Amino acid sequence: MPSTPRVSVIVPVHNGATTIARCLTALSEMPDGLSEVIVVDDRSTDRTGEIAAALGARVIANPSGRGPAAARNAGAQAARGEVLLFIDADVEVQRDTVVRMLDHLDRHPEVAAVFGSYDDDPAHPNFASQYRNLLHHFIHQTAERRSASFWAGCGAIRRPIFLAAGGFDAERYPRPATEDIELGLRLARAGHVVHLAAEIQVKHLKAWTALSMMRSDIFDRAVPWSQLIMSAESMPADLNLRWSHRLSVILSGLLLATLIFLALGHRVFYGVPAVWTATVATALLLIQLLPLDGRFYRFLLQRRGVLFVMRVLPVHLLYYFYSGVTFSAIWVWHHAGRSTTFRRA
């Protein structure tokens, strides 16, 4: 290995024994001498560190023991490469992923960071894993090239820019959350260019359940994302914060709230007949969902068929609903003068 490899691949991990071998095996297929692989072990209690070392990775401990943001920062401090490539421990790269990341940065010297996408063939066949990963894939595949975000599941950034930006905000995010999105927003607001290279795709190895998906959506995504919006006062209409997504959240929440009122025997919803409110919300929601979510449902229809789409419909509406409820709760909390810092539960 040369004294200064071009890329330092940084893999933060906590109890990742079930996926780390597959992750590192795929990374070992990169061209010799191009990169170093640094695994930052965040207080694992299983054999993660032992497996990673046996596969040739440089294993270091997360010195603060405070989640993936701090782990990635520790990896960046130990790195020697001019480019930092962050890969999640439950991600399997393709043979040419690292080379394509470098090629993108070489062809676009104005770009500070670039990130990719999950592919449309997640490792686990259960419904929750398929739905969650296909939604992520679709959002990234239909987003604009220039982004005001970042994705640390498979994202590269020039090391001097990362260090100058202060890295990930480990104080604000001591647990897995939206620390990568916040970094991307900071980079964009500082005038740096971030690209979403949707053609660079990796496989997600994580097995989702309905419960783990909802908990992650609410506590690791909706809560910190809402807090970020409150603290920033505005957010770019990027990825799943596009205005169409925001309106879908509001309408889904309104519809389900009025349906609950009707089910409980109430006939008036804030002075308006609940039936009228539900009818109007349904009509607006259908009108809203046709141009955007219609594309998503057609995508799912092509990939997984009619029965899968029928299962997704109520789950997707529920996703919008609890996202809207979470944002409303954080909005009230924020305007009541409470802190919007995301802390460990």
Q: What percent of the chain has pLDDT over 70?
A: 77
Q: Is the pLDDT of residue 233 over 60?
A: no
pTM: 0.84
* φ/ψ (deg, to 5) at 58: -85, 115
Over residues 166-187, the pLDDT tens digits come to 999 999 999 888 999 999 999 9
Cα-based distances in Å from 304 to 91, 123, 129, 307, 321: 22, 15, 13, 8, 24
Which residue in the block uniquely carries the two structure tokens 């005038």? Answer: 191
Which residue in the block uniquely carries the two structure tokens 């607001």? Answer: 189
pLDDT at 138: 93
Whether the Cβ atoms of residue 133 and residue 213 lie closer than 8 Å to each other = no
Average pLDDT of span 187-192 = 95
pLDDT at 229: 72
Q: What percent of the chain has pLDDT over 90?
A: 59
Q: Is the pLDDT of residue 1 over 60?
A: no
- Going by pLDDT thresholds of 50, 70 and 90, the confidence category of residue 66 is confident
Q: Is the pLDDT of residue 334 over 70?
A: no
Mean pLDDT of the chain: 85
With CA atoms as reference, report the closest residue to 25 among 50, 49, 67, 54.
54
Over residues 135-163, the pLDDT tens digits come to 999 999 998 999 999 999 999 999 999 99
Cα-based distances in Å from 231 to 145, 227, 242: 26, 6, 18
Over residues 250-277, the pLDDT tens digits come to 666 556 666 665 566 666 656 666 666 6
- Going by pLDDT thresholds of 50, 70 and 90, the confidence category of residue 318 is confident
- Going by pLDDT thresholds of 50, 70 and 90, the confidence category of residue 345 is very low
Signed CA dihedral, 137, 142, 143, 146: sign only:
positive
